[in-house]
Structure 1
Amino acid sequence: DWPIRVEVLSRFKSAKDIKAVLDQVAEGKVDVIVGTHRLLQDDVKFKDVGLVIVDEEQRFGVRQKERLKALRAEVHLLTLTATPIPRTLNMAMSGLRDLSIIATPPAHRLAVKTFVAPWENETVVEAFQRELARGGQVYFLHNEVDSIEKMARDLQALVPEARIRVAHGQMAERELEQVMLDFHRQRFNVLVCTTIIESGIDIPSANTIVVNRADRFGLAQLHQVRGRVGRSHHRAYCYLIVPPKLTSDAEKRLEALAAIEELGAGFMLATHDLEIRGAGELLGEEQSGQIAEVGFSLYTELLERAVTSIKAGKIPDLDAGAPIGPEINLNLPALLPDDYLPDVHARLTQYKRISAAKTVDRLKELQVELVDRFGVLPDAAKHLFAVSELKLDAARLGIRKLDLGPTGGRLVFDAKPNIDPMSVIRMIQGQPRVYAMDGPDKLKMKLELPDAPSRLRAARALIATLAQG
């Protein structure tokens, strides 16, 4: 009854059915074609493709995605993923791709509780029995086809009451399909499987997953696997079984996964993956690497400067240091105190956001957010925002340094300040006992400024006077 025609291409269709669908696609009789990598083969011809949607984008290589885009010059491309690969995330964060984040989980959905532990029979038995006792189902992920049958037998000996079946990608299509349908219909309660379940499986009654040798998986892959459970209102559990000794990268991946388990954490995990593995090549085929030596923040800063220079028709000078803003020293505490924001990582994040603010309005937004999240700002935090605001005003005027203390201070100008020299002369002539030049680029001040409020008022008044000209 619908006005559009939808067809499917996958290995579960017969050759005759596939040929019929391909002919209709080539003739333009099919409006929407849903398929696996099968859509990328040479015998698939489209009459007039306008939109390509790639779900689970992390499963595709660069060549495959570029092939999809090459189907037609004006094709629109939308990629969907819970964990973007480093190259894609880097392109989005550097402005080369548009990015939208859906961070709101479905109603009544609970986060998956994650445990990292070495193999112990008691742990596995407890995980199985807890889930089976509440009438649920269990995934046991063992990613070695050669030994998967033996693992299933060992688990059956450990948990005799479990009804266990096996699923992997080397099984015949019909057999695999039947196993998955039986699991969905709860005809057995433990599925020993490979990463074939990584995406596209939605079984609300399966709420425990045990991943054997989790150290061999990537961060994005582990997050995808963990996402197979917790797809209803029940609390789900993920057990990552690891050997006693881990490589440093594996340890970082597992720490990140165990620490970030809240709903919608995929994007945050993807940024960790980007830092661990690197950003890959924007114009080449590598989807990770190239970032380990400099760190993510410096890498994105260098990339942004290069893109800005090229857009302006200049050759990027990547050896030049980052621009340093004015130095404002009022000899007063300007910081986020430990007792206000105890978490070190959270403090560093807020410092970075404050220093990156380019407008007074942005600083006010951050101030409102801090009050909303952590309570009324202490004086030291208020001073931090006041000094940051002074830095923005000083940068616009070409002031390099402002130093104020109990008995006054001095102001240092840039080589070419954005200030009318006559305004400085008028200040000196109007109050010769307060203001005096000290060399060609320094203005000295003699003022009684005993406390923080008086220094902030004096700094604001001075910058406002110079700005008026």
Structure 2
Amino acid sequence: MIPELLKNHLNFNLTNASLELFLVIATSKYKKIAYFSNEELDIELLKKNISRINSSVKVIEFPDFDCDFLSNLSPTSEIKTSRIRTLYDLIFKDEQDVILICCIKTLLTKTIKINKNNNSLFRLTINKDIKYEDIINFLESSGYERLDFVHNPGEYSVRGEILDIFSPIEDHPIRIIFDFDKIYKINLFSVDNQLSKKKINEYNLFLSSEIQFNKENIECFREKFRKLIIKDKDDYYKSISEKNILTGSEQFFPILNREYNSLLEYLSKFKLVFDLDFEFYFSNYYKQKIDILGDFKNYFEEESDYFLKVDDLKKNIEDNYLLIDQKQLTKEKNEFVEFSSNIELKKHDKQTNKELLFNLIKQKEILLLCFFSQGGKKKYCNYLKYHNIQFVEISLFNFDNILKHSSKVFVLEYEIKNSFYLIYNNLVKLCFISEEDIFEKSLKKSVKKNIKEENLIEEYSTLKIGDYIVHNDHGVGKYNGLKVKDLNNVLLEFIEIIYFGGDKLLIPVENLELISRYGHSDISVNLDKLGLQNWQQRKSIVKKRIKDIAKILIKTAAERKLKKGDILVPQTYEYEKFSSEFEFTETSDQLKSINQIENDLSSGQPMDRLLCGDVGFGKTEIAMRAAFITISAGYQVALLCPKLLLVNQHERNFKKRFINFKYIIERISRKESDNQKKLIKERIKNGKIDIIIGTHAIFSSDIIFNKLGLIIIDEEQSFGVEQKEKLKKIKPNCHVLTLSATPIPRTLQSSIFQLKNISLIKTPPLSRLNIKTYLMRFEKKQIKQIIEKEIERNGQIFYVAPRISDLEKIKKNLVSIIPNLVFDIIHGKLSTKEIESSYERFFKRKSNLLISTAMIESGLDVSNVNTIIIEKPNLFGLSQLYQLRGRVGRSSRQAYAYLIVDDFRKIKEDSLRKLQIISKIKSLGSGLSIASNDLDLRGGGNIVGEEQSGHIKEVGIELYYKMLKETVDEIKSTKPLEDDWSPLIRLGFPVSIPEEYIKDIDVRLSLYRKISNIDNINDLNDMLTNLSDRFGKVPISFKNLFHILEIKIMAKKANINKIDYSNKGFVLEFKTDKMKKIEDIIKLVEKNPKLLKLLPNSKLFYYNEKVEDIQRVNGLKNLLSIILK
């Protein structure tokens, strides 16, 4: 593809859709192109499209910092990594066919000065003499953050002889193992599970970001800080001076360095491309930047030291640039390829657009039908096949191949919003047709893939001192931490539980499978008293009730299969038309759920399906598809909502979605007058209403349906047993679809899936952007800027605090800094009517901001809320913070979450670390998994269809779910349920995870719980291998735990209740009711009289006086193997 000669300063007229083509063609001539857009662009989409045109072209980006000077915000790790990676590419690589893309406002602020000779690059190679201390010194001086575990670029971790590092210029982190002063091994490892993968020989370290807190920079910062007399930042001055870098310290980037470079200074070999009017935009951005700084602008000795002015920009670019005009086509045509947007496709008139498409084909124009979804591709192909039009599917765009091909119609994955044509060399006209123009689908946004962050959440979501926990034999107590005790000169680790009256119970770490969480509960919980039978009686009652419920569930599931239901089959043309008008691209989970529901409705059996997914994940669209199938078959649909707010929301959404179809949708609730209700009921009875949406008013006995086909229930757990029974009586064989934003606890999923038809939507819509999360110190001016920024883009804000007592202080602060702000307050002490009224005002955008405790309504989809401010985030749990943050970002707009602390220095180290973790978690995709994990701890509503909160309070949520799962599995498999018991094993050697091996107490406790629940020796060995990989050589006291657990697994199979040690050997105590055949034991003793001796009370003595612990343990394992034969 060889273009005509391009001349400088000439306008190249483009549409937005043709930008990528222009850049690729320009790159084929100039090899290196730097394009500066006047406004922010979707870089990921540009990258994807460019790769479709020419996969050999590399696209790099240089995003603007997403925080301002002296703003108390830190740039996101994504931004820092992206910028430093691009600088590395520009300085150390000399690649051809490269396109750099960034917004022109990025040129305003300068960046660090780097050259090839300033020790910014450190190459690691195996078997090379590299001192461990030299690597650590480089990491510290280059701005890497030391953490317990590495998950993001710019982080490192030290654990014994293992060093983990994630360089920002590499795609994966590495694990280094040393052999004295040589690197013995370098392994790539997974950030998901922290386990090693592939061995490599070489790895490059580079600066972690442009913002470096090394000795030289800190001296520069101290000098400039004192000279400029910066106020209200003394805590930062002190912390940076002491190399204790607080969140928000990056705000001092402009005074950290003595010299800066403009990005343009790294682009001497690049051809620059600007949009028309770039000088105007640049000047405006400059003014905005200075205005934002306000009084802070006086802190700069010379603005030009850090900011690039318009005159400097002109001087830097000289004559080395091209101009493009993306607004309109001008008469003057200087481009080697003419781009135009003159294909007049009318929006929202699909028939006209399809006719135009057919006419273009008849005119024998070269057509490239561009799709961005598999649904679009399928529709194009079906359309062309229907009209017997020859076409070719291509994966890459190539001028020469297209021109040589006999076909004139090509189907290509290329994401464009608007159709355009291109005239190549003044001869050939190519028409690029957008899927959106033909099929009216909104273009999806590209979202980067993230790590499996539920693993990260789970590792740090562990018990806190004071949490209620349940011991299987002793009942409800309070967790009081890990304790190391010296028993007979042997150090052992236990968890301590406090019971009623202050009684304490120590549980060996190898028996933690007997411990479960009570749950996250605000209610008062009564502690059990040790030694009483109350607990066992309560547990027995709950177990009996669970068995009754499980039988009912299984019976109901079996009976449902025998009933006959209405057969509802989609009316093909109408249904496809309705489906094609969905304004977004369906996710794979949505498509799967739709298919399952279509099969249910046409099966001839009454559907009873639970559709489970977070708010905004597309449940309503699936319900609408089910409703459309039903009403197009001549039946009625009833949509039942627990709250008036949801009725309002659904009414709006359904009427908007069905606007092009002649179906009648009405509502009924307490808001309608008696006359209105009477009329609505008559029309329901006469079949004049197709879809009725309402609250419990639908249960009214005087509502008679003409031909009810489908009942949709939103948030079923909000309705009581009596109401659900009434619903079943309306039409026993009716199809039922239940929507729930409450995920199913993971511990229950496998069992519940046997009883209910469940569809899970775990992936967010394709248009969702990752939420940008910032951890920052409280400052009124910054809060004011955050709120005003959101209101300026016509958005709304959630402002959350952990306690009701915090809300009044927040209110006073907001009134003082933004007097005209319109806001509402909600919390648990208000009446339902007051809360509903506040929500309604907020939902209708009559207020800009909602102040709340953590009770922000999970069922409502307020897509206009794209900023959440969370005060005192350290008082929330990690999963709870994740849930709160997920209340924003429900649209295709960029969403922001701000975690506000009063003083970083007053927050405990472990709490601060967790806040840093949540600020780095970007993705939405792990939301359901994390929510499910959280529900394992605090309950997920009436999953099994009955009011079970009373029983859950009796035994705690984890134990309740465990009992339910075991009961369902027992009934389904007809296997008897085993009693919960755990052998007590004492082998006479120390058992603990040393603090010097794993410092973090949360991780230690999490590992204890995971390991103690392993019931398979192979899994135990795998866990030991993984630990060795992650943390280094496993110390003896930790290895001892694995020996004990292996023996415990064997002992339980042999029904051995207890194994205790003495100087001469071990005492094995069998469970009296389940002792192995006594004849076998006697024969074993008779064969080995020097080793074994029978004792009273079902005990067996094993003589073993070996000096080495490992020899004694191996002897015991051999004995247990013989007993188990």
TM-score range with shorter-chain normalisation?
0.5 to 0.7
Corresponding residue number in structure 2 for 1:146: none
- Letter of the 2:666 counterpart: I
Match of 2:863 in 1: 202
- Deviations 1:125-179, CA, capped at 9 Å, x for gaps: 133145468x57333579xxxxxxxx99x9798448x99799x9769x9x999x5
Q: 1:383 to 1:90 in 2, by over 3 A?
A: closer
Following superposition, the deviation at residue 110 of structure 1 comes to 3.1
In the TM superposition, residue 397 of structure 1 has moved relative to its aligned partner by 2.0
2:897 alignment counterpart: 237
Q: In the aligned structure 2, how far is the partner of 1:361 from the partner of 1:101?
A: 32
Query: 5 Å matches for 1:244-323?
Result: 263=924, 264=927, 265-271=930-936, 273-274=938-939, 288=949, 295-300=956-961, 323=980
- The reply on whether 1:326 has 2:983 as its aligned counterpart is yes
Answer whether contact 2:790 2:797 (CA < 8 A) is retained: no
2:574 paired with 1:2:
yes
Alpha-carbon distance, 1:400 to partner: 2.5
Q: 1:12-34: CA deviations, max 9, x gaps?
A: 589x8639998897788999x58
- How far 1:425 sits from its partner (Å)? 3.9
Report matched runs for 1:334-353 at 5 Å: 334-353=991-1010
Equivalent residue for 1:18? 666
- Paired with 2:983 and 2:857, the residues of 1 have a C-alpha distance of 56
RMSD, aligned CA: 5.9
Shift of 1:464: 1.3
Secondary structure (helix, strand or coil) at the match of 2:1068 reads: strand
Cα separation, 2, equivalents of 1:115 and 1:392: 45
8 Å Cα contact 1:110-1:233 kept in structure 2: no
Q: Deviations over 1:203-238 (max 9, x none)?
A: 4xx4213589x9xxxx99998775442234735125
Tell me by how many angstroms 1:459 deviates: 1.4
| 3-state SS of paired residue (2:1112) | helix
Aligned mates of 1:70, 1:307 — CA distance in 2: 27
State the one-letter code of the partner of 2:1055: G
Structure-2 change in CA distance of 1:413 and 1:196 (3 Å): closer
Matches within 5 A, 1:36-185: 36-37=694-695, 40-42=698-700, 45=704, 52-57=711-716, 60=719, 63-74=722-733, 79-83=738-742, 104-105=763-764, 109-111=769-771, 113=773, 122=781, 124-131=783-790, 135=793, 137-139=795-797, 158-159=817-818
How far 1:94 moved relative to its partner?
11
**How many Å separate the matches in 2 of 1:106 and 1:370?**
37
C-alpha distance 381-127 of structure 1, shift in aligned 2 (>3 A): same
TM-score, structure 2 as length reference: 0.29
Structure 2 unaligned blocks of 5 or more: 1-572, 576-628, 640-646, 656-663, 668-678, 801-809, 825-834, 902-913
Structure 1 residue 399 and structure 2 residue 1056: aligned? Answer: yes
Residue type matched to 1:338 in 2?
E
Structure 1 or 2, whichever has the larger Rg, is 2
- Structure 2 distance, partners of 1:100, 1:270, is 18
Q: Is the 8 A contact 1:112 1:226 kept in 2?
A: no
Distance 1:358 1:236, change over 3 A: same
Q: 63-72 or 91-100: which moved more?
A: 91-100
Q: Which ranges in structure 1 are unaligned for 5 or more consecutive residues?
A: 143-150, 184-189, 242-255, 317-321
- Do the aligned partners of 1:220 and 1:270 also contact (CA within 8 Å) in 2? no
Deviations 1:413-451 (A, max 9, x none): 332554344544444444433333334633323333222
* Structure 2 counterpart of 1:455, from 1109, 1112, 1118: 1112
Q: Aligned partners of 1:386, 1:327: CA distance in 2, in Å? A: 13
Q: Secondary structure at the match of 1:403?
A: strand
Say if 1:327 and 1:101 are closer, same or farther in 2 by CA, change over 3 A: farther
Residue aligned with 1:385, SS:
helix
TM-score by length of 1: 0.61
Partner Cα separation in structure 1 for residue 959 and residue 685 of structure 2: 48
Q: Assess if the C-alpha contact under 8 Å between 2:1055 and 2:1075 holds in 1.
A: yes
Cα distance in 2, alignment partners of residues 197 and 156 from structure 1: 27
Q: Which amino acid aligns with 2:1100?
A: L
* Counterpart Cα distance in 2 of 1:268 and 1:198: 19
Once the two structures are TM-superposed, the CA of residue 462 in structure 1 deviates from its matched residue by 0.2
Amino acid of the structure 2 residue aligned with 1:138: Q
Find the aligned partners of 2:1082 and 2:739 in 1 and give their Cα distance: 62
Name the CA distance, whole Å, in 1 between partners of 2:970 and 2:665: 54
Query: Shift in Å at residue 273 of structure 1?
Result: 4.3
C-alpha contact (below 8 Å) 1:40/1:64 kept by paired residues: no
Moved more, 445-454 or 193-202: 193-202
AA of the residue aligned to 2:932: F
8 A contact 1:390–1:460 mirrored in 2: yes
SS of match in other structure, 1:207: strand
- Is 1:388 aligned with 2:1053? no
Distance 2:1027 2:736 in 1: 38
User: Sequence identity of aligned pairs in percent?
Assistant: 28
Distance 1:305 1:368 in 2: 30
Q: Do the aligned residues in 2 keep the contact of 1:209 with 1:237 (CA within 8 Å)?
A: yes
What is residue 84 of structure 2 aligned with on the other side?
none
SS in 1 for 2:574: coil
Structure 2 residue corresponding to 1:437, chosen from 1094, 1108, 1120: 1094
* Separation of aligned partners in 2, 1:37 and 1:17: 15
2:746 touches 2:933 (CA, 8 Å); kept in 1? no
- How far, CA to CA, are the matches of 2:998 and 2:936 in structure 1? 23
Partner SS, residue 2 of structure 1? helix
What amino acid is aligned across from residue 795 of structure 2 in structure 1?
Q
Mapping of residues 364-379 of structure 1, within 5 Å: 377-379=1034-1036
The answer as to 2:1074 corresponding to 1:410 is: no
Letter in 1 for 2:1108: D
Tell me, yes or no, if the aligned pair for 1:398 and 1:416 is still in contact at 8 Å. Answer: no
